[in-house]
Amino acid sequence: MENFLLQASLYLGTAVLVVPLAVRVGLGSVLGYLAAGILLGPIFGLAGAETADLQHFAEFGVVLMLFLIGLELEPRTLWDMRHKLLGLGGAQVVLTGLALGGGLLALGTSLSVAVICGMLGALSSTAIVLQTLSEKSLMRTPGGRSAFSVLLTQDIAVIPMLAAIPLLALPETDAIDASVIGVTNPEDAAAQAESAAEPLVTLLQTLPGWAATALMLATVAVIVLAGHYLSRPIFRFVHAAKLPEMSTFISLLMVLGIAFVMMLVGLSPALGTFVAGVVLANSEFRHQLEADLKPFKGLLLGLFFMTVGVGINFAMLAREPFVVLGLTLGLIAVKAVVLFGLALAFKLRGQDRWLFSLGLAQAGEFGFLIVSFARTEGALPLAAGQMALLVISLSMLLTPLLFITQEQLARRFARRPPDRAPDQIDETGRVIIAGIGRFGQVVNRLVRTSGISTVVLDSDMQTIETMRRFGVKGFFGDPSRPELLQAAGLAEAQVLVVAVDDRHNASNIVRYARQVRPDIHIVARAVDRVHVYELYQAGANDTVRETFDSSVRAGRYVLENMGFSEYEAAKLSQAYWRIDRAAMRDLAQVWKPGQPIHENAAYVARARQLDADLETALIDVLYDVRPMAAEETGPQHGPGGHPPPVEPELDQPSETPASAKVAMPE
CA dihedral angle for residue 599, residue 605, residue 610, residue 612, rounded to 10 degrees: 120
**Percent of the chain with pLDDT strictly greater than 70:** 83
Lowest mean pLDDT among 33-37, 41-45, 151-155, 173-177: 173-177
| Residue predicted with more confidence, 304 or 648 | 304
Domain assignment present for residue 624? The answer is yes
Give the pLDDT band (50/70/90) at residue 307: confident
**Residue 432 region by backbone torsions, left for phi larger than 0, else alpha for psi between -120 and 50, else beta:** beta
Query: In which domain, by residue range, is 640 found?
Result: 547-657
Give pLDDT tens digits for 418-429: 555 555 665 667
pLDDT at 498: 92
Number of domains within the chain: 3
Give the pLDDT band (50/70/90) at residue 436: confident
Return d(Cα 169, Cα 166) in angstroms, integer: 5
User: How would you label 515-533 residue by residue, b for 16+ Cβ within 10 Å and e otherwise?
Assistant: eebeebebbbbbbebebbb
> 68 with 213, same domain?
yes
- The mean per-residue pLDDT over the stretch 320-337 comes to 93
Q: How many CB atoms lie within 10 A of CB 552?
A: 17
> 438 with 295, same domain?
no
Contact (CB, 8 A) for 333 and 320: no
Q: How many CB atoms lie within 10 A of CB 393?
A: 25
The interaxial angle of helices 382-415 and 286-310, nearest 10 deg, is: 120
> 21 with 136, same domain?
yes
> 335 with 358, same domain?
yes
pLDDT at 586: 85
Query: Pick from 353, 387, 411: which residue ends a domain?
Result: 411
> 537 with 556, same domain?
no
Query: Pick from 546, 581, 597: which residue ends a domain?
Result: 546
Return d(Cα 488, Cα 480) in angstroms, integer: 12
Give pLDDT tens digits for 357-376: 999 999 987 887 788 778 77
> 614 with 554, same domain?
yes
pLDDT at 341: 93
Domain assignment present for residue 381? The answer is yes
pLDDT at 171: 60
Residue 513, domain CATH: 3.40.50.720
| Residue predicted with more confidence, 236 or 410 | 236
pLDDT at 1: 67
Return d(Cα 146, Cα 84) in angstroms, integer: 7
Task: Provide the sign of the torsion angle of the four alpha carbons 66, 70, 75, 77, taken in this order.
Answer: negative
- The mean per-residue pLDDT over the stretch 421-449 comes to 79
pLDDT at 424: 60
> 92 with 147, same domain?
yes
Residue 370, domain CATH: 1.20.1530.20
Q: Is the pLDDT of residue 480 over 50?
A: yes
pLDDT at 663: 33
pLDDT at 200: 56
Domain assignment present for residue 32? The answer is yes
CA distances from 188 to 193, 195, 433 (A): 8, 13, 65
pLDDT at 42: 83
> 317 with 237, same domain?
yes
pLDDT at 618: 86
Give the single-character DSSP code of 425: -
| Residue predicted with more confidence, 626 or 204 | 626
pLDDT at 650: 38
Give the single-character DSSP code of 184: -
- The mean per-residue pLDDT over the stretch 191-197 comes to 44
pLDDT at 78: 67
Q: Is the pLDDT of residue 622 over 90?
A: no
Domain assignment present for residue 198? The answer is no
Q: Is 347 helix (H, G, I), strand (E, B) or coil?
A: coil
Domain assignment present for residue 65? The answer is yes
> 558 with 640, same domain?
yes
Q: What is the DSSP string of 577-590?
A: HHHHHHHHHHHHHH
pLDDT at 332: 94
Q: How many CB atoms lie within 10 A of CB 333?
A: 11
| pTM (two decimals) | 0.57
Domain assignment present for residue 418? The answer is no
Q: How many CB atoms lie within 10 A of CB 207?
A: 13
Domain assignment present for residue 201? The answer is no
- The mean per-residue pLDDT over the stretch 606-615 comes to 88
Give pLDDT tens digits for 97-120: 999 999 999 988 888 899 999 999
pLDDT at 117: 92
Give pLDDT tens digits for 247-262: 888 888 888 888 888 8
| Residue predicted with more confidence, 645 or 339 | 339
pLDDT at 558: 92
Give pLDDT tens digits for 266-302: 777 777 787 788 788 777 777 788 888 888 888 887 8
Domain assignment present for residue 665? The answer is no
Phi, psi of 371 (to 5 degrees): -60, -45
User: How would you label 536-547 residue by residue, b for 16+ Cβ within 10 Å and e otherwise?
Assistant: bebbbeebbbbe
Give pLDDT tens digits for 486-502: 888 888 889 999 998 88
Give the pLDDT band (50/70/90) at residue 316: confident
Q: Is the pLDDT of residue 660 over 80?
A: no
> 138 with 163, same domain?
yes
Query: Pick from 525, 546, 567: which residue ends a domain?
Result: 546
> 370 with 439, same domain?
no
Return d(Cα 182, Cα 549) in angstroms, integer: 60
Give pLDDT tens digits for 23-80: 787 677 777 888 888 888 888 888 776 666 777 777 777 788 778 877 776 677 667 7
> 275 with 304, same domain?
yes
| Residue predicted with more confidence, 468 or 132 | 132
| Average pLDDT along the chain | 79
Q: Is the pLDDT of residue 604 over 80?
A: yes
